[in-house]
Structure 1
Amino acid sequence: MAGIYLHIPFCRQACFYCDFHFSTNLKPKQALLQALHQEASMQQHYLSGELVETVYFGGGTPSLLEAEETGSLLQHLQQLFNIKEGAEITLEANPDDLTQEKLQALRQLGVNRLSIGIQTFSQPVLQGLNRAHTAAQAHACVPLARAAGFNNISIDLMYGLPGQTEEIWQQDLALALALRPEHISAYCLTIEPKTAFGKWTERGQLHPPGEEVGEQQYLMLTQALLQAGYEHYEVSNFSLPGYHSRHNTAYWLQKKYLGLGPGAHSYNLDSRQYNIRNNALYIKKLQVGELAQEGEILKREDHINEYLMTGLRTSWGIDLQYLKDQWQHDLQHQNQGYLQEMQARGQARVENNRLFLTEEGRLLADEITARLFIV
């Protein structure tokens, strides 16, 4: 099994918190789409012999593309790669881009899963993030998608936001659950240095909610979604039974994937490639038939650390016997005291030779994983 990720690096405006690779200059869009087609052709060998089960249009804002542009990319991939019939084909979208006409066109072209960046249903909080859509559009987008035939919809929410009180977060959760999406991803705000929020925080102009607020809102999130019948299958991801994100799950299970577009990553089990985060240079290199990437061969400790980092965030945890057999790493023996300590605190459990973090432990997933890393 393998996946393909396409990075569409354009946005209408810059959200104050975002440090993903994007540009608000849409002028080079056609040149970049041509470069994406070229890169896909040049990378056809990367997934040679692999059955591609997922395709993911991420960004940026892929819903900025015309439906025909998305369809052209998808058709090109189908000509180059062995894409499974019924593959999960996801498009990230902003609510303000989702008209009935566009949704119907996307569905007809083969997109069968939407990931909609709602973030919050509060108009003041949306404005405080500099999001392009309105609260009204956030309410309307899921019913619109349903009417167009989409039966696999994910929505993104954010918590720990400036101005987002406990009452607003409670309302966000209630409104999200009323829409009954198949999947919900929820992320706590992280203040990144080069963002507007990062600069304002450094200058003392912004005072984001403290860590304890994020923890409290995370507990509200998990309680509400578990009670509503969602599975908490990864720290930030919840789904109704049978609706895990197959694309992201493949990442967490260390399956091969090809990343296309500026800033995209690729992984083929032995090495990782990184495309440059510069639209103009990416286009320039592809125009002369050069890949715009660097790479690294993964060492034993890289494999182990990535397995820990991804696996401990999931409901299926990590296979301790696999670590011994594949990488000659006896995690239990080398971290016996720490594992016993975590189990005593109710943060972890070991069952059937697998290590899992509890709901309480997942709050500290990054800290716990860092303690178990091979340095």
Structure 2
Amino acid sequence: MTSLYIHIPFCNRICTYCDFNKFLIKNQPVDTYIDCLIKELSTIPTDIDTLFIGGGTPTALNDQQLERLLKFIAQQFKIQQEFSMEANPDELTAAKIMIMKKYGVNRLSLGVQTFDNDLLKLLGRTHEEEDIRRAVDTAKALDIESVSIDLMYHLPTQSLEQVKLDLEKALALDIDHISSYSLILEPKTQFYNQYRKGMLQLPDETLAAEMYDYTIRRLAISAFQQYEISNFAKPGHESEHNKVYWQNREYYGAGAGSHGYVNGERYYNIAPVPHYIKAVQLGNAVKETHKVTREESMEEFMFLGLRMNEGISRWDFLQRYGTRIEKIFGDVLTKLEASELIVVTEDRIYMTAAGRMIGNDVFEEFLLSI
């Protein structure tokens, strides 16, 4: 069995920081897109461990479009474990939640980002603080098993006090999972263009580190346990789908601009919606494939696995690659352990708290081509 990611590339509004494959939904051929998505999904094996519908904004679909897609998924796939769906708080109506529940969605991931209404406007979000509370309360009242929220820090004009307040407001909600991400300025986003023109000021990196450190310390004394660099969960509510990525396991991707990793090969679907539709109608939406080399796979195994607090298993590495981890990364492990950035035990290797603070620097050490 494996996992599946489905991409819905439509939004009612484009956020200023977002670089995902997305398009304003107005005047888009949404129904034809769903036709093609269903056609593509029909080619994927039906036994699925985890399924995640992301975007874009899946809740930008109207009730009829959402039900048609979810009904097909429920009929087509045997989902063994986790069925997640992204949602915008202001679009998450009771009717949409009931449709999701009817067809097996058991985990919702809400794009909250912040509770500060002024910052939400700056981010281009369409919701306000009161929408967040309503969405969570409604989802729980309708028996969605697990509710997660995304938060962001290192935002323009954001202070440490605002981050603290966001966390307190999150902890006051009946939620099960928190993802907390630092803003990254990605090319081709509105924020990136504003920054290059000198029109956008970000908190300095020292303050960003303080924000991250406070997040870890505050959630450590709550019901949430950190299990990955940016993710915290109550017991039993870790994101099983995202763990597929961090454990470098294979998965299918469907939809415009989606990625997949199957039989040692990564593939990338055509991104523009009209081109995706035409490609599916002609029989194949894949734009590009890449055969992952053994060296690349070992690199990914290390820097993805080390994102998790539990780290990586020496036995898993030996099973996958037929060689001991020290034979490939011995010098790196010795260096990082001496710097107290990782811990090396008989069974596992994992990052220390200090290592997680500079995770990207640690990960770069495992790039064999450098």
Shared fold (TM-score, shorter chain, > 0.5): yes
Once residues 335 and 112 of structure 1 are traced to their aligned partners in structure 2, the CA distance between those partners, rounded to angstroms, is 40
| Partner of residue 244 from structure 1, selected from 225, 233, 238 | 238
Moved more, 89-98 or 284-293: 284-293
Once residues 40 and 340 of structure 1 are traced to their aligned partners in structure 2, the CA distance between those partners, rounded to angstroms, is 46
Aligned counterparts, 1:196-345, within 5 A: 196-328=190-322, 330-332=324-326, 335-345=329-339
Q: Counterpart of 1:127?
A: 121
Aligned counterparts, 1:152-163, within 5 A: 152-163=146-157
Once residues 78 and 92 of structure 2 are traced to their aligned partners in structure 1, the CA distance between those partners, rounded to angstroms, is 30
| Partner of residue 71 from structure 2, selected from 75, 82, 91 | 75
TM-score, scaled relative to structure 1 = 0.93
Per-residue deviation at 1:110? 1.9
Per-residue deviation at 1:287? 2.1
Q: 1:107-165: per-residue Cα shift (whole Å, max 9, x none)?
A: 22321110000100001111111111112212322112111222310000000001211
- Asked if the contact 2:74/2:104 (under 8 Å) is kept, the reply is no
Once residues 83 and 361 of structure 2 are traced to their aligned partners in structure 1, the CA distance between those partners, rounded to angstroms, is 33
Amino acid at match of 1:220: Y
- Asked if the contact 2:25/2:60 (under 8 Å) is kept, the reply is no
SS at match of 1:21: coil
Moved more, 90-99 or 339-348: 339-348
Once residues 79 and 141 of structure 2 are traced to their aligned partners in structure 1, the CA distance between those partners, rounded to angstroms, is 27
Per-residue deviation at 1:347? 1.8
Q: Counterpart of 2:17?
A: 17
- Asked if the contact 1:317/1:356 (under 8 Å) is kept, the reply is yes
Amino acid at match of 1:278: P
- Asked if the contact 2:85/2:107 (under 8 Å) is kept, the reply is yes
- Asked if the contact 2:248/2:305 (under 8 Å) is kept, the reply is no
Q: 1:299-329: per-residue Cα shift (whole Å, max 9, x none)?
A: 1012111111210100221223443453255
- Asked if the contact 2:136/2:174 (under 8 Å) is kept, the reply is no
Once residues 256 and 327 of structure 1 are traced to their aligned partners in structure 2, the CA distance between those partners, rounded to angstroms, is 16
Once residues 244 and 366 of structure 1 are traced to their aligned partners in structure 2, the CA distance between those partners, rounded to angstroms, is 22
Per-residue deviation at 1:349? 0.5
Amino acid at match of 1:153: V
Q: Counterpart of 1:367?
A: 361
Per-residue deviation at 1:367? 1.3
Moved more, 283-292 or 124-133: 283-292
Per-residue deviation at 1:76? 2.3
Q: Counterpart of 2:105?
A: 111
Once residues 99 and 326 of structure 1 are traced to their aligned partners in structure 2, the CA distance between those partners, rounded to angstroms, is 45
Is structure 2 residue 183 aligned with structure 1 residue 189? Answer: yes
SS at match of 1:150: coil
SS at match of 2:365: helix
Gaps of 5+ in 1: none
SS at match of 1:372: coil
Q: 1:186-242: per-residue Cα shift (whole Å, max 9, x none)?
A: 110001121111011111111211221211100111111111021211111110011
Per-residue deviation at 1:298? 1.3
Amino acid at match of 1:254: N
Gaps of 5+ in 2: none
Distance 1:110 1:321, change over 3 A: closer
Q: Counterpart of 2:61?
A: 65
Once residues 8 and 298 of structure 2 are traced to their aligned partners in structure 1, the CA distance between those partners, rounded to angstroms, is 31
Q: Counterpart of 1:30?
A: 31
Once residues 57 and 324 of structure 1 are traced to their aligned partners in structure 2, the CA distance between those partners, rounded to angstroms, is 33
Q: Counterpart of 1:140?
A: 134
Once residues 228 and 180 of structure 1 are traced to their aligned partners in structure 2, the CA distance between those partners, rounded to angstroms, is 13
Once residues 319 and 124 of structure 1 are traced to their aligned partners in structure 2, the CA distance between those partners, rounded to angstroms, is 44
SS at match of 2:194: helix
SS at match of 2:267: strand
Per-residue deviation at 1:337? 4.9
SS at match of 1:179: coil
Aligned alpha-carbon RMSD (Å): 1.8
Q: Counterpart of 1:102?
A: 96
In the comparison of the two structures, how many residue pairs are matched? 368
- Asked if the contact 1:9/1:61 (under 8 Å) is kept, the reply is yes
Amino acid at match of 1:39: E
Q: Counterpart of 1:172?
A: 166
Q: 1:37-72: per-residue Cα shift (whole Å, max 9, x none)?
A: 11112x23xx37xx3121111000001123443332
